[in-house]
Structure formats: structure tokens, C-alpha cells
Amino acid sequence: MTAALIALRAILHREALRFVTQRGRFIAALVRPLVWLFIFAAGFRAALGLSITPPYQTYITYEVYIVPGLCGMILLFNGMQSSLSLVYDREMGSMRLLLTSPLPRWWLLTARLIASTTVSLLQCAAFLGVAALWGITLPWQGYLAAIPALFVAGLMLGALGLMLSSFIKQLENFAGVMNFVIFPMFFLSSALYPLWKMAEASPRLRDLCAANPFTQAVELIRFALYGQMNLPALGWTLLALALFGGVALWGYDPARGMVQRKG
């Protein structure tokens, strides 16, 4: 086994231990979307009067419609929380120790990103399992097709958090930045209501939601859960992943980014 794979396995093992030992983190990540699914869905459906007929021409209930958006919520919150732990590790010195290893910096950050996304996939699987027990089911082929879609979306949202963590110096400042990023991204998306409903309220608002990377990630997951490929959403999600990942690598470059600013 090469040194790069050994490092990846070690980082995956560390994140898995965090996932197992921090049970409150897992419960919070699971309860948050379940509250939206079982409590807020009824109110949103009644207020908006939604009758969902998505592009795949299959009538679905509102609860089924928001399942992909709530999976995206799990990925978004976990990506931000993983980045919060990066800021904590940097303050404690363990992050600097990791980045001074002989392996390329880009690989270490990528391994950390893969590890956090894997944890997010486990949380999404648990959420989909609870929803299925409640009677909110999707085609079984869709669950398999959703795995790569969830992974790509998780990498993109994790790269966003990684980019933010490279520019935030103190742990106390990150919580405010998380709220400033998470809530606009989530509510200005198609996670809770379709874009055509946005267009009825304001065409500009609809365009703003369509330009949101989180919207593209949710649509990628939504189509995958019905066994279909949304190529435009995949392309925009990969483009956002490349952009956020590139800026994060620049931010963690000691010659230009984080280390230089800290002196």
C-alpha cells in the first residue's frame, strides 16, 4: 500500500472514530431533516398549494419531493461542521502537523474531504432509511443511483466549507459565517419548492435560485433518486467543486494563503 493510500485510510479512520464517538452530532444531523420532513412539510404544502409534477412526469407527494433537498441539507450542514473541526484542529496544532507531512498538500486536503463526505453518506443513508420506515419510499434503483450523486454533491459542499475554513482565523468567527452561508444557500434553492414556483413570485428570484450551486446539487440528487441523469446539474456541480477546491488549495498554500496571513 502506498503512502498516499495509508494517509487516506488513516484520515478515514479518524473521521469514522469521530462519527462513532460524537453521537450527538449524528443525532442532530438526523433529527434536523426529519423535523422538516414530518412537521414543516405539511405546513409548506398547505401554504404553497403545491402539486408536484417534476420533469420525470410522475406525480409525487410534497414529502417525497423534499427528500432530495433534505439529503442536501445533511450534506451542507456536515460539510460546514467538518470545516469547523478543521478550524479547531488548526488552532490546536493538529492540522499544521498533518499539513507538514511529506505527502502533497492537495492530497491531504482531498483525503480529508473524501472522509467527511463518506460520513455524510452514512447520515443520508440513515435519513432515507427512517423516511422509508415512515412510508416515504422511492424506486430501489434510485437509491443505488443516488450514491454517486450524493458523493459528488457532498464533495462540492465539503469543498465550500474547506474554502471558508482556509480564510477564517478564529473558531468564534466560523459560527457566524456558517449561518450566513447555510441559510441563504438552503432557502434560495429548489430544496423546499420547485423553481417554477419561484418564478411565479419573481423571475429574478428564480434566476438567483438557479445560479445557487446548492440548487444544482439538489437537482442532481433528485433526478438520481428517480434513476435519471441530470447532466446540466452534474456539470455545474463539478464546476463548483473545482472552483471551491481550487480556492481552498490556494488558501492552504503556505506561500500565499492561510500561513502567510497568520505570519
Please report which residue ranges of 22-135 form alpha helices under DSSP H: 23-35, 41-48, 62-92, 94-99, 105-133
pLDDT of residue 48: 53
Query: Strand pairing partners for 52?
Result: 60
Reading the chain (263 residues) residue by residue, the pLDDT tens digits are 587 777 778 778 777 777 767 666 667 777 888 887 877 766 665 555 555 554 444 446 777 888 899 999 999 988 888 777 776 666 665 666 666 667 777 788 888 889 889 988 988 998 999 888 888 888 888 899 999 999 999 999 999 988 888 777 666 666 677 778 888 899 889 888 888 777 877 888 888 899 999 999 999 999 999 888 999 999 999 999 999 999 988 887 766 544 444 44
At residue 90, the 3 state secondary structure works out as: helix
pLDDT of residue 139: 84
pLDDT of residue 217: 95
**pTM for this model (two decimals):** 0.83
At residue 51, the 3 state secondary structure works out as: coil
pLDDT of residue 1: 54
Residue ranges covered by each domain of the chain: 3-262
- What does the H/E/C string look like for 115-167? HHHHHHHHHHHHHHHHHHHCCCCCCHHHHHHHHHHHHHHHHHHHHHHHHHHHH
> CB-based contacts of 66: which residues, under 8 Å, 6+ apart?
36, 37, 41, 44, 191, 192
Only one residue has cell 451542507, namely 76
